[in-house]
Structure 1
Amino acid sequence: MKIIQASCMAALTLCLAGVARAYDLETVGDPDITGFSARRLERMTSWFKEHSEKGDPSGFVVGIARGGKLAYLKPTGFADHDRKIPMRPDSIFRIGSMSKQITSVATMMLVDEGKLELDAPVAKYLPELRDMQVVKTDPATGDAIVDAFPLNLEPAKRAMTIRDLLRNTSGLVYAQPYFADPGFGNTAIHVLYGARAPFRRDKPIASFVANLGTLPLLHQPGEVWEYSIGYDVLGRVIEVVSGESFDQFLQSRLFAPLHMVDTGFSVPADKLDRLVAVPGAQPAPLSDGDVGRPQTFFSGGGGIVSTVPDFLRFCQMLLNGGELDGARILKPETVRLMTTNSLPPDMHLAGHEAGPAYGTGWGLGFAIRTNPDFSFIPGAVGSFNWQGSWGTFFSVDPVEKLILVMMTQRQQYEDNGLYFNAIRRLSYAALKVPEAPAPPASGPSNTAALTDYVGRYDFGGSASSLDRQVLVADGKGWTGLESVVAETGGLRVIKPAEAGPAARAGVTAGDLITAIGDKSTGGLTLEAAFGRISGPVNAPIKLKIIRGKQSDPLVVAFAREAVPAHSVQLRVRVADGKLVVEATGGWSILDFDKGQPTSVAVRSKDEFYVESGDHTRIAFVRDAAGKVNGAVLNPGPWEQRGALAQ
């Protein structure tokens, strides 16, 4: 009930969000007007500058809008490190899977116009996808049987629909080896897709879809969520229904009305000097990164280029309920439908950052925050986001009327989690907290009394009370086996978490896990594999592993652990007769900077405050015996609670 109420509030707020005008998103405004601390926003500049100087990625552009106004827009580093070309606010990036949200909006425009039925079979518009077969499942496990050819197939229980394509429940999958990413499956069926329906940049979408019609579905439509090529199929649906090529439809119906002047499937010759280079080996000709020439295959799932200013406008249109600068793109109720979780609680999930374990659902083209305490998505329940494999990220928080966009450029499927974490934590931590009037000081005045508060306080994963990150949910344990792919012979470890339980027990990248406990992992889907890996905190887990060319398996055993906080911590000590507070975890928090001790003044019994900056308050909490066991930052609606760790 709590989550449902929060979702309704988020939807209501989305309808009431202030409408941005063109110039509001072109000029950075006063941070105070948009509710940010200028000093704490500067932390973001410093953080991204520091990582730009490391050279990989070589540069970033970060944009933030709040309440319809541009609050922050800064480039750092280089657009081309080798040629020392500086990054610009309007540098052009390959946005990868952030193309999916654009394709979703284009699809729903046709639904709004009555030209496309959301629950109609896809074959109504693409007859080549009629009567597709489905891989049979093992009655004992419910897993698809994909470890032997010829595949054992059965008819689909129902046809896949346009809604299925939008919410990744069509039964289609992504191909291997084209998508060599740990989030995607790597079974025989995924390999088959890569062989028979490859992405060919020199062929039109129609040819690709025709090839799909010769392949089976991995799942029964509507029964399993798996990230897939459905958005590329939607591009072809849009062509058939609209009578225009997909690129022409987007340009005339979406990009031009929204003044997204640098967004499309390729970069014109006169703008190539703004295209951000990919560090290392450059994208191969005809690959989805080869955007410096006109395209033939218009990939709605990953082929679009854009800029931070353009994507801010796209997000603001959604936050406004489907309108920007007088251009109505979608109906408000359509935006609400798209940005509301559409997955039922019992939906089977095949990996890739969706489901209750991630605090995340999926709407019609967007990941949606569903859990108030934990999610990969920043902000309130009902916030929505996604990211692109080249290193791009966006998030929209309807409650705070906040838009975050971060773009960098890296080799596809490198781990971009650090940068996505940075944009969420640094942005929310920069929001101002309403100040409370200070009462006359009355509290401890001697050093002996101050020692009661000395210690380290752990605030979990949250750098802001508006983006809660309680990282231990429902007693689930953590193994550190976060990057694995399902292969015919078992689970291939891509990269165990550094210093995690598995890595400490000896598991290394490249290991093939052939059994968990006494049960074989051969032929498992990612969904089934994650189900066996998970378990309660402190519960033991035993793995059988084949390493390299060894024929005899290794046996590795260890205990699952509590999920580690991404370290938001404060160290409190006494210096020169005053209480001093310093951020020592992964992130600065409020007025407390990493590595910079800050003295606090007495405010009242057990409560202190920072005399400068944003006047952060810190109140210490005592147990029934009167011993300090925790701390609260800015007590009240925006408070953040931490426990005494030592």
Structure 2
Amino acid sequence: MSDRLDAILTDGVPRVCSAAVALIAVNGSVVAASATGELVRYADAEGTLAEDRPPVRRDSVFDLASISKLFTTSAILSLVEQGRLDLDEPVATWLPGRDPRITLRRLLTHTAGLQPTRRIDLELPGADPATRLAAITDTPINAPVGGPYLYSDVGLVMAGHVAEVAGEAPLDELVHARVTSVLGLPDTGYRPMTRALREPADTSHRSAEEPADLSRIAATEWKAERPGPGCVRGDVHDETCYALGGVAGHAGVFSTADDVLAFGETLRLGGGVMLRPGTVAEMLRDQGAEGVAFRHGLGVRIGDPGIVGPLTGAFGHSGFTGTSLVVDPARRLTVVLLTNAVHPVRGRDGIRALRHAVAAEALRLADQP
């Protein structure tokens, strides 16, 4: 069932990433699955091979990076359905003092005029996460409001904090209550180093405060500045999210391929128990952002050439760590690729080609009788 997909991943491992898991579902059924490589291959930034190199499995856990934005968006839209948020009301309603031109719709379409990122850990060394979050959500506008498109992690951090204020709970609790728990995604969440990821075996004896089992988690980049220097494993790779305590609107979610597939299928089928069909339709509607090579919905990219390959018109998102989710409703396809292409260092070539090859195989399978 997976020979072709196996060959695609084997061609990219370890050249592009040390570990890769891919799933292709047609009309809700997995028609190809592959897991190749090692969760930890390198011991340092120079590429020294680690002594212990555990093999990747289908249920391995990866840092999703910016795919997290889709989980944040889903939680926000759930609050919109309840009337606790309004996409077109100024965020100053919930965060007093912010520029009245900033709305959730503009934040979720990257048209609020906010800068791409802020290394708040370097700006405020030694500050606590709450102080850093307040500084980020107070970032002034420095580009035209309403467009053109300017990809902004800062904007999604602000959007996530608006959700916290309106939802009267931390973002990780909102995502759990409104997305992962209602969809039954046991291996999806933030901060796996301090949250027990549920194993296939019974874990009822284990406290939620106990560390997760790192044996299932893929390593990412070598970070000499982090406590216990080494390749990050179980902590979020993104520096800004890490500085905010591991939970933020733009990054921080860890998951397995099967959980991401279930999330993608929920969106493909109109929201299921998570969101109403009309809400998902608005999420996937072209919101008219200009100056970008793809169309943009609410938090989601439509026809992004970096990830969809031949699946023109498909929607989804990519993650800096080497992850992607692509959903093609017209072809009844959901495609998940999870890798750790930043291990042991960022800047490795080939992840775009790997994403395209997996998408092309999905297209071939969708076209079969």
Match of 2:103 in 1: 161
1:128–1:210 contact (8 Å) kept in structure 2: no
Match of 2:340 in 1: 409
CA distance in 2, matches of 1:291, 1:222: 37
Q: Which of 66, 80, 83 pairs up with 1:97?
A: 66
Q: Which of 31, 35, 47 pairs up with 2:8?
A: 47
Deviation at 1:433, TM superposition (A): 4.3
> Which structure 2 residues correspond to residues 221-240 of structure 1 after superposition, within 5 A?
221-228=145-152, 229-240=154-165
Match of 2:201 in 1: none
Alignment TM-score, normalising by the size of structure 1: 0.48
Match of 1:369 in 2: 303
Which stretches in structure 2 are left out of the alignment for 5+ residues?
42-49, 197-210, 237-241
Q: Give percent identity, aligned residues only.
A: 27
Match of 2:204 in 1: none
Deviation at 1:215, TM superposition (A): 3.9
State the one-letter code of the partner of 1:71.
V
State the one-letter code of the partner of 2:257.
V
CA distance in 1, matches of 2:19, 2:312: 31
Aligned length, in residue pairs = 331
CA distance in 1, matches of 2:191, 2:235: 6
1:265–1:298 contact (8 Å) kept in structure 2: yes
Match of 1:172 in 2: 114
Deviations 1:506-557 (A, max 9, x none): xxxxxxxxxxxxxxxxxxxxxxxxxxxxxxxxxxxxxxxxxxxxxxxxxxxx
- The structure that is helix-richer by fraction is 2
Change (3 A) 1:102 1:285: farther
State the one-letter code of the partner of 2:61.
I
Q: Which of 45, 57, 62 pairs up with 2:17?
A: 57
Q: Which of 119, 125, 136 pairs up with 1:212?
A: 136
Change (3 A) 1:421 1:247: same
Match of 1:451 in 2: none
State the one-letter code of the partner of 1:364.
L
Deviations 1:178-212 (A, max 9, x none): 4xxxxxxxxxxxxxx786578x89513xx334213
Q: Does 1:306 align with 2:306?
A: no
Change (3 A) 1:166 1:57: same
Change (3 A) 1:223 1:277: closer
Which stretches in structure 1 are left out of the alignment for 5+ residues?
1-37, 133-157, 179-192, 350-354, 435-646
User: Residue 73 of structure 2: SS of its match in structure 1?
Assistant: helix
Match of 1:330 in 2: 275
> Which structure 2 residues correspond to residues 140-151 of structure 1 after superposition, within 5 A?
none
2:137–2:157 contact (8 Å) kept in structure 1: no
2:19–2:37 contact (8 Å) kept in structure 1: yes
Q: Does 1:321 align with 2:290?
A: no
2:222–2:232 contact (8 Å) kept in structure 1: no
Match of 2:176 in 1: 251
1:103–1:235 contact (8 Å) kept in structure 2: yes
- The structure that is strand-richer by fraction is 1
Change (3 A) 1:286 1:257: farther
User: Residue 24 of structure 2: SS of its match in structure 1?
Assistant: strand
Change (3 A) 1:399 1:119: same
State the one-letter code of the partner of 1:384.
F
Change (3 A) 1:285 1:385: farther
2:16–2:348 contact (8 Å) kept in structure 1: no
Alignment TM-score, normalising by the size of structure 2: 0.81
CA distance in 1, matches of 2:16, 2:127: 28
CA distance in 2, matches of 1:94, 1:418: 20
CA distance in 1, matches of 2:311, 2:256: 26
Deviation at 1:271, TM superposition (A): 2.4
Change (3 A) 1:283 1:263: farther
Q: Which of 62, 82, 88 pairs up with 2:57?
A: 88
Q: CA RMSD in A?
A: 2.9
Deviation at 1:285, TM superposition (A): 4.1
> Which structure 2 residues correspond to residues 328-477 of structure 1 after superposition, within 5 A?
328-343=273-288, 347=290, 349=291, 355=292, 358=293, 360-369=294-303, 377-378=308-309, 382-411=313-342, 412=346, 414-415=348-349, 416-433=351-368
User: Residue 72 of structure 1: SS of its match in structure 2?
Assistant: strand
Deviation at 1:286, TM superposition (A): 11
